[in-house]
Amino acid sequence: MKTGCTENDLVSQAPSLGTKEGYLTKQGGRVKSWKTRWFILHRNELKYFKDKMVRIKTSPDYTEAVFVVQNLVFPERTYYMCTKTGVEADEWIKLIRWKLVSAVYKSLNIKMVSLL
Ligand code: 4IP
C-alpha cells in the first residue's frame, strides 16, 4: 500500500538550480492581444504553454497585471511580457540575465580563477 511521498518523489519534483516556472502575461506576435501563459525556463530554453497542467487556452488576463514589462529581444521577434508584481519580474529578469552572461562566458571560454 502506498502511504505517501517517498524521498524519490520529492527529489523528482524539486526544480533544478537555474530552472524557473510560472505564469507570465505575453503579447501576441502579429495580433497584439495579451495572453497569460505558463513559462518554463530550463537550461538555455524558454518555453511557454497554454496552461500549467491541462494545456488549455486561458482567457486574457492583462487587467490583473501590474505592467512590469520585460522585453526579450530576438533577431526575429521582441517578446513583451509582464508580471503581476515587481518581485516576480525581478526573479525572471535576474535568472535570464545570469543565463545570458553565463552563455557568453562559456562561448568565450572564460573561467573564474581564484588568485588566493
Ligand atoms: C494570438 O492572438 C495569441 O496571442 C497567440 O499567442 C500569438 O502567438 C498570436 O500571434 C496571436 O495572434 P489571438 O489568440 O487573440 O488570436 P498564444 O500562442 O500564446 O495563444 P505567439 O506567436 O505570440 O505565440 P501571431 O504572431 O500568431 O499572430
Q: What atom in ligand 1 is closest to the CA of residue 34?
A: 4
Instruction: Tell me how far apart the alpha carbons of residues 69 and 113 are, in angstroms, rounded to a whole number.
Output: 36
CA of 91 to the centre of ligand 1 (A): 25
Instruction: Tell me how far apart the alpha carbons of residues 52 and 66 are, in angstroms, rounded to a whole number.
Output: 21
DSSP, collapsed to helix, strand or coil, labels residue 9 as helix
Mutate to test the pocket of ligand 1, among 24, 26, 27, 35 (most ligand atoms within 8 A of CB): 35
Strand order in the sheet with 34-42: 45-49, 34-42, 20-27, 78-83, 68-73
3-state helix, strand, coil in the chain (%, to 5): 30, 30, 40
pTM of the model: 0.72
| Per-residue pLDDT tens over the stretch 8-57 | 444 444 556 789 999 999 999 999 999 999 998 888 788 888 888 765 54
In this structure, which residue's CA is closest to atom 7 in ligand 1? Answer: 28
In this structure, which residue's CA is closest to atom 23 in ligand 1? Answer: 28
| Per-residue pLDDT tens over the stretch 57-95 | 444 444 444 444 567 777 788 888 888 888 888 898 888
